[in-house]
Amino acid sequence: MSTVLYITAHPHDHQTSYSMAVGNEFIEAYREAHPDDEVIRLDLFKLDIPHIDADVFSGWGKLASGSSFDQLSDDEKAKVGRLGEIVDQYVAADKYVFVSPMWNFSFPPILKAYIDAVCVAGKSFKYTEQGIIGLLTDKKAIHIQASGGVYSEGPAAGFESGHSYLAKIMQFHGVPSFDGIFVEGMAAKPDQAQSIKEAAIEKAKEAAKTF
């Protein structure tokens, strides 16, 4: 049995959002194809994800210097402890499904906060004399991204900074399999928006069977 983190970064649900609509169809098809797997839904807009701030840095610094967790301030305990829970859940999972819109060529900032929470030395990667090595070499991931224009290819491809950044993070973590499903061009071609979504849904359903 595998554990799947279904990680969504959109304030709207599948009835309003293109990315969430395709993501919902993907995860339902996945459940049907893999009935014994556990799917954990993480709505990042509803989760407590501490930003890395002065309290976090000071808490980490104290722990690195030999202080116990009980010696941290209340704010340090709350933030450092919560970040630890997030990365431990991430590392323990087997598969990751990221769902996000493109906002200003990237993804919503809440997804960046989540990525910051799971990029932890000794957990998802490690430093060695030979360089940085990713530790999640037995995982796989997929990213479903929606955008009003077309950015996966063509003249605007150089502006795309969401999926490409997530691909770098997966490589950084050592994840050997990372794919993308793009729902794009709805604003550029509003008369084709429904057919674009339907085509992406069909692709998502097929991808879910072998994910």
Structure-block tokens of residue 113: 């906060």
Q: Which helix (H) or strand (E) holds 141?
A: strand 140-147
- DSSP at 121: B
- Cα–Cα distance between 153 and 141 in angstroms, integer? 21
* CA atoms within a 13 Å half-sphere pointing along the CA-CB vector of 125: 21
Residue 90, annotated ligand binder?
Answer: no
Token pair 């339902």 is found at 28
Annotated ligand binding at 114? The verdict is no
159 assigned ligand-binding residue: no
The Cα 17–Cα 80 span in angstroms is 33
Residue 102 assigned ligand-binding role: yes
Provide the b/e sequence for 63-72 (b: ≥16 CB within 10 Å). Answer: eeeeeeeeeb
Residue carrying structure tokens 């839904």: 41
Longest dimension (CA), the chain: 62
Which is it for strands 177-184 and 140-147: parallel, antiparallel or unpaired? parallel
Q: Is 17 annotated as a binding residue?
A: yes
Is 20 marked within a binding site? no
Q: What are phi and psi of 162, to 5 degrees?
A: -95, -65
170 is in an annotated binding site: no
- Residues annotated within a binding site: 17-19, 102-105
- Binding-site residues for FMN, in ranges, read 17-19, 102-105
